[in-house]
Structure 1
Amino acid sequence: MHELIRDITLCILFAWMLGLLAHFFRQPLILAYLIAGFLIGPFGLKWVKSQESIAIISELGLIFMLFMIGLEIDLKKIVRAGPVILFAAGGQLLGGALLGLVLFAGIGLSLAAGFDAIYLSVACALSSTVIIVKVLYEKRELDTLPGRVTLGVLVLQDVFAILFLAVQPSLGNLQIGVFLLSIGRVGVLVVTALVLSRYLLPWLFHRIARTPELVLLGALAWCFLIGEIAEQLHLSREMGSLVAGVSLSTFPYALDVTAKVTTLRDFFITLFFVALGMTIPVPNLSVIGLALLIAGFTVASRLVTTFVPLYLMKQGLRASLLPAINLAQISEFSLVVIQTGVVAGHIQTATASAVSFAFVILAVLSTFVMVRSDALTRRAIPALKRLGLRDLDHGRDAEAAETGGHGAARRIVLLGFFRAASALVAEMERQNVSLLKEITVVDFNPMVFRTLADRDVHVIYGDISNVDTLLHAGIGHAEIIILSVPDSLLKGATNEKLVRHVRSLNPAAKIVATADLLADVDQLYAAGADYVTVPRLSDAHELFSVIEAADQELLADKRAEIDARLGERREVLP
Structure 2
Amino acid sequence: MIEATWIAFAFIMGLAARAYGLPPLVGYLGAGFALAALGERLGIGPHDSAALTHIAHVGVLLLLFTVGLKLKLSNLVRREVIGGGLLHFALSSLIFLPAVLLLVDMPWQQGLLLAIALSFSSTVLAAKVLESKRELRAFHGRVAIGVLIIQDLIALVVMSLAGGDIPSPWALLVFALPLLRPLLFRLLDASGHEELMVLLGLLLALVVGGYGFELLGLSSELGALAFGALLAKHKRAVELSNSLWSIKEMFLVGFFLQIGIGGLPDGDALIFALLMSLLLPLKGVLFFGLFLIFRLRARSAFLTSVSLTNYSEFGLIVTSVVLPQWTIPLALTMALSLVISAQLNRIAHPLYERLARRLIPLERDIRHPDEQPISLGDAQILIIGMGRTGRAAYDHLKDKGFKLFSLDSDPGMIELSAQAGRRVQFADAEDQMFWQRLEMPAVEAVILAMNDQEAKVISTQKLRERGFTGLIVSHAMYEDIAQRIQAAGADRTYLTMSEAGTGLAEHVARGLQPGS
Q: Give TM-score scaled by structure 1 length.
A: 0.60
- Amino acid across the alignment from 1:323: T
Q: Distance in 2 between matches of 1:291 and 1:542?
A: 58
Higher radius of gyration, 1 or 2: 1
2:22 is matched with which residue? 27
> What CA deviation, in whole Å up to 9, does each residue of 1:429-480 have, x standing for no partner?
99979x68xx9x999999x9xxx9xxxx9x9x9989979977x8799xx675
Q: CA deviation at 1:21?
A: 2.1
Distance 1:267 1:26, change over 3 A: same
- The 8 Å contact of residues 38 and 280 in structure 1, kept in 2 or not, is answered as no
SS in 2 for 1:141: coil
- Amino acid across the alignment from 1:516: A
- Determine which of 95, 104, 109 is the counterpart of 2:96: 104
Q: CA deviation at 1:102?
A: 1.0
Structure 1 residues 188-197 or 261-270, which shifts more? Answer: 188-197
Distance 1:133 1:320, change over 3 A: same
Q: CA RMSD in A?
A: 6.2
1:400 is matched with which residue? none
Q: CA deviation at 1:318?
A: 2.1
Written as runs of structure 1 = structure 2, the 5 A alignment for 1:137-152 is 137-152=131-146
- Determine which of 281, 285, 295 is the counterpart of 1:296: 281
- The 8 Å contact of residues 54 and 275 in structure 1, kept in 2 or not, is answered as no
2:514 is matched with which residue? none
SS in 2 for 1:182: coil
Distance 1:467 1:72, change over 3 A: closer
- Amino acid across the alignment from 2:320: Q
Distance 1:220 1:379, change over 3 A: closer
Identical columns (%): 17
1:559 is matched with which residue? none
> What CA deviation, in whole Å up to 9, does each residue of 1:104-136 have, x standing for no partner?
33335389575342243244322343x334444
Distance 1:55 1:285, change over 3 A: closer
- The 8 Å contact of residues 288 and 301 in structure 2, kept in 1 or not, is answered as no
2:122 is matched with which residue? 127
Gaps of at least 5 residues in structure 2 are 369-374, 512-516
Distance 1:118 1:469, change over 3 A: same
Q: Distance in 2 between matches of 1:196 and 1:392?
A: 38
Q: Distance in 1 between matches of 2:256 and 2:439?
A: 55
Q: CA deviation at 1:182?
A: 0.9
Distance 1:541 1:229, change over 3 A: closer
- Determine which of 301, 307, 332 is the counterpart of 1:326: 307
SS in 2 for 1:41: helix
Q: Give TM-score scaled by structure 2 length.
A: 0.65
1:187 is matched with which residue? 171
SS in 2 for 1:484: strand
- Amino acid across the alignment from 2:275: L
Distance 1:14 1:338, change over 3 A: farther
Q: CA deviation at 1:303?
A: 1.9
2:87 is matched with which residue? 95
1:341 is matched with which residue? 322
- Determine which of 333, 351, 364 is the counterpart of 1:376: 351
1:275 is matched with which residue? 261
SS in 2 for 1:330: coil
Q: Distance in 1 between matches of 2:431 and 2:250?
A: 45
The reply to whether residue 514 of structure 1 matches residue 509 of structure 2 is no
Q: CA deviation at 1:544?
A: 6.0
1:60 is matched with which residue? 54
Distance 1:525 1:281, change over 3 A: closer
- Amino acid across the alignment from 1:182: I
SS in 1 for 2:471: strand
1:365 is matched with which residue? 340
Task: State the number of aligned residues.
Answer: 479
Q: Distance in 1 between matches of 2:152 and 2:215?
A: 22
Q: Distance in 2 between matches of 1:195 and 1:60?
A: 31
Q: Distance in 2 between matches of 1:527 and 1:188?
A: 56
> What CA deviation, in whole Å up to 9, does each residue of 1:34-64 have, x standing for no partner?
433433436x776479985477346534643
Q: CA deviation at 1:243?
A: 6.0
Distance 1:132 1:494, change over 3 A: same
Q: CA deviation at 1:97?
A: 1.5
Distance 1:103 1:510, change over 3 A: closer
1:401 is matched with which residue? none
Q: Distance in 1 between matches of 2:477 and 2:214?
A: 54
